[in-house]
Structure 1
């Protein structure tokens, strides 16, 4: 029985759904700059959620929006004197490259805000008619939090103690300083759309409410995002949607913990942001996924290089045990029996709020079982290997041919792949003529350089230690 930590009630709850198709909405990027490791963590986690829900029999309608009009985009456009659309296009292209390399499943829909302006205007109109919003003297349309009975309960805020997090001239025209903008009146040289309230553009929070209503209709099973979105974005989004529908719109709210850099909050002001494309130049995508999933999604993730190096070693252990197994042979031998694996423990762990660190621990117990049985029970080894690969695939790892992955590390070694294979050829020649001492010297030399050799019949394979 799947249990999810619901931020709304601040506790784990049994996941209940009226049907086998799950509506999942995750707040996507604001397209003004390259994606960083914080984006990577959030979207890798929800990628695993989608994979697991499908594994246990659900269909998933996965929606992840892209904010393509926003203050940050406009400010960058004005600063660099280029059209905001070019910034958006470049950023989305970069995001797609990063996410593809990280083996993330594409959402079912990835809607752009600017493609849904009419629907946003309709939702704002409805909120105005129901007296949940008002037109201020400066031309903005604002949401009135005093009209929303349960405002603050998602983020567990007490209204009297909340201070406006952003001071600007717009506050002067609000009934309550915490009221938030649904429609912003445009300024000079800013992009705009025509509306019943004049030229302007949507506020940030209304975008997700309107887009989710289009693609998920009248109910969202799970709404997710980073913990930084809990307040004010998700609190405001919840208020809009609940007031628009006159009922609770989202059943479960899920939030992924922040990423710290050397125990400090990652931010551009501290100049400690780590881009995904920079990380991907140094580490294999599966290593990055393993590293991110080694910490429970709700806990902060402290980025340190040593942890990524540990993830590298762990991935090499997983692929090393699989390198001895011929999967083509495996799939042809008693295929039905092989598929009849017991995933009870795996499901029990994942059903406990997607506990990926415990799943990874379980995977290494399977590795230990394979090593114990590989000389005595070939069929069981095949079965365990298939189980290991299946679980890994749900986490988005173990998709490589093991022999290819085990040679990937040569890119970072002080020796070329051509030199490695030349030394192996010389060693094979020495073994053929029983020059064991020379063969042993070459093995030790390669081992010193971080290369391990494995002799099988008349051939020798190698991989990184």
Structure 2
């Protein structure tokens, strides 16, 4: 069944919720800015990409064919510096961290992008846009040989971020070595420096600035006007603001119809205040380290789903406060949902969006992808499943979980968690002995067995279907 009710989303450009209407009915073009591949991804990146993975999945659930583009920035000052520090080529560096990024996104349950363009493969397209801007008078060759965008030539500059040119001017200063005509102008093409990656252009050898790459790649795959452009909150200004300016000046049409940004992931600093997680602040926790630690804590293979569930419990554009207690709480919540599924089978029917819990779930997702309210429906279902054991409700719980890409493991495997060092056959033998003791009304022995297993980190759950166990 295809969901036909209206979907509303919050657009950064209009600063309000809007009814989503794709350019072509049933087809959605979506571009989300990827990472600069010079280091491992951190949980802040994971927050952004899980958010847009859920958005994409819900658009698909509503019957849309989604073309999802996520770029890879593989030429950049940070990349050049890091490669030099390691004594390797920029390609060796970016190939390594691109693969690591892809593995991290897969671990967190994100679908692979439809297209994953690398900036260095789109130099001709970038030069084409820069040429348009120079020919139209929006860009110029500065005194240092760089090609710069003349911000004041684009009267609507600041419409995405809400920043005015006058406010920006008051806080700007000009570096005489840059050769810009105005301190607000930004670079489109950097003149080549010795030892750096470079390509030929009509302005001489050089490499692209950061902002131009996304305009080139998004337009190549999705057209000069497409549906959704997204990314992390730190990209609104200047990156996305500059994308709007250069794309609309070059092509003479609206760039993206809807702009969506995830909220920041914040961590507590040494002085007790909260700040965003970022590499520049040296306060980040890599996805790899997070997965290793959560796997050790909650069981091998479980950490990724716990982290994903932790991220889903906050609406995508709200800030998340990151601390270990919240991760533990997410594990407890996920455990409760899996316990409702353990030992139970659904009725084999497809998910029906007319069923009350499914309809409430859909209403939440249609209201700007409100995952906390959608997740609340999962807990309501779990309560009813535990009360009634109704196979129709079991099917709904697992089916709605699938929309968010959770609850798809064998519940027994998830609930047992880390089994390293545990003899499952011995645990099963003790459970059987306990059942026999209870049948013989030897409750003292039954309690002894429960306590013995609990001391080993094993919790027993007595259900109508029998006794099951999991790691405490």
Q: TM-score, normalised by structure 2?
A: 0.90
Out of 293, 300, 314, the residue aligned to residue 282 of structure 1 is 293
SS at match of 1:426: helix
Partner residue, 2:300: none
C-alpha change, 1:344 and 1:274, in structure 2 (3 Å) is same
Residue in 2 aligned with 1:425?
Answer: 429
Identify the residue that residue 373 of structure 1 maps to in structure 2. Answer: 388
How far did residue 450 of structure 1 move?
4.4
2:445 corresponds, among 438, 450, 453, to 438
Q: 1:259 to 1:163 in 2, by over 3 A?
A: farther
**Aligned match of 1:354:** 369
Distance in 2, matches of 1:166 and 1:417, equals: 63
Match of residue 212 from structure 1 = 218
TM superposition shift of 1:269? 5.1
Is this contact kept in 2: 1:120–1:207, CA < 8 A? yes
Instruction: Give a deviation string over 1:182-230, Cα, whole Å, max 9, x none.
Output: 1001111111011111110111000000001100013220100000000
Distance, in Å, in 2 between the alignment partners of 1:338 and 1:269 is 47
| CA-atom RMSD in angstroms | 2.2
Residue of structure 2 equivalent to 1:253: 259
- Say which SS state the counterpart of residue 295 (structure 1) adopts: coil
Tell whether the 8 Å contact from 2:224 to 2:253 is kept in structure 1 after alignment.
Answer: no
Pairing 1:461–2:468 present? yes
Matches within 5 A, 1:72-151: 72-151=78-157
Equivalent position to 1:404, from 413, 417, 420: 413
Match of 1:322 in 2: 341
- CA distance, structure 2, for counterparts of residue 394 and residue 458 of structure 1: 28
Supply the distance in 2 between the matched residues of 1:261 and 1:108 (Cα, whole angstroms). 32
What secondary structure, in the 3-state scheme, does the structure 2 residue paired with 1:241 have? helix
1:37 Cα deviation after fit: 0.5
Q: Say which SS state the counterpart of residue 228 (structure 2) adopts.
A: strand
Match of 1:271 in 2: 282
- Shift of residue 425, structure 1, vs aligned partner: 0.7
Preserved CA contact (<8 Å) 1:427 1:438: no
Whether 1:14 aligns to 2:19 is yes
Q: Which shows bigger deviation, 13-22 or 423-432?
A: 423-432
Provide the rounded CA distance (Å) in 2 between the counterparts of 1:190 and 1:167: 27
Cα deviation, 1:370-414, whole Å, max 9, x if unaligned, reads 12222xxxxxx2111221112211212111111111112446xxx
Question: 1:389 maps to what in 2?
Answer: 398
| Alignment partner, residue 451 of structure 1 | 458
Q: Cα distance 1:34–1:459, how it changes in 2: closer, same or farther (>3 A)? A: same
How far apart are residue 168 of structure 1 and its match? 7.8
Deviation at 1:438, TM superposition (A): 2.2
Of 318-327 and 224-233, more deviation after overlay is shown by: 318-327
Q: C-alpha deviations, 1:13-50, integer Å up to 9, x for none?
A: 11112321000000001010000011000000000011
Q: Is the contact made by 2:431 and 2:467 (CA closer than 8 Å) also made in structure 1? A: no
> 2-side partners of 1:442 and 1:248: how far apart?
69
Asked whether the equivalents of residues 174 and 182 of structure 2 are also in contact (C-alpha less than 8 Å), the reply is no
Deviations 1:275-298 (A, max 9, x none): 000001122111101111111221
- State the Cα distance separating 1:158 from its structure 2 match: 1.2
Query: Is the contact made by 2:264 and 2:318 (CA closer than 8 Å) also made in structure 1?
Result: yes
Aligned length: 449
Structure 1 residues 273 and 337: CA distance shift in structure 2, 3 A:
closer
**Alpha-carbon distance in structure 2 between the residues aligned to 1:336 and 1:73:** 48
**How far apart, CA to CA, are the structure 1 residues paired with 2:54 and 2:117?**
21
Structure 2 counterpart SS, 1:162:
helix
Alignment of 1:159-174 (within 5 A): 159-163=165-169, 169=175, 172-174=178-180
Q: Deviations over 1:413-434 (max 9, x none)?
A: xxx321x541441342364474
Alignment partner of 1:296 is 2:315: yes
The answer to whether the 8 A contact 1:23-1:219 is kept is: no
CA 269–146 in structure 1, closer or farther in 2 if over 3 Å, else same: closer
Whether the 8 Å CA contact 1:164–1:178 is kept in 2: the answer is: no
For the Cα contact (< 8 Å) 1:423–1:442, is it kept in 2?
no
Q: CA deviation at 1:456?
A: 6.8
Moved more, 206-215 or 341-350: 341-350
Q: CA deviation at 1:60?
A: 0.3
SS in 2 for 1:345: helix
Distance of aligned partners of 1:391 and 1:159 in 2 relative to their CA distance in 1, 3 Å threshold: same
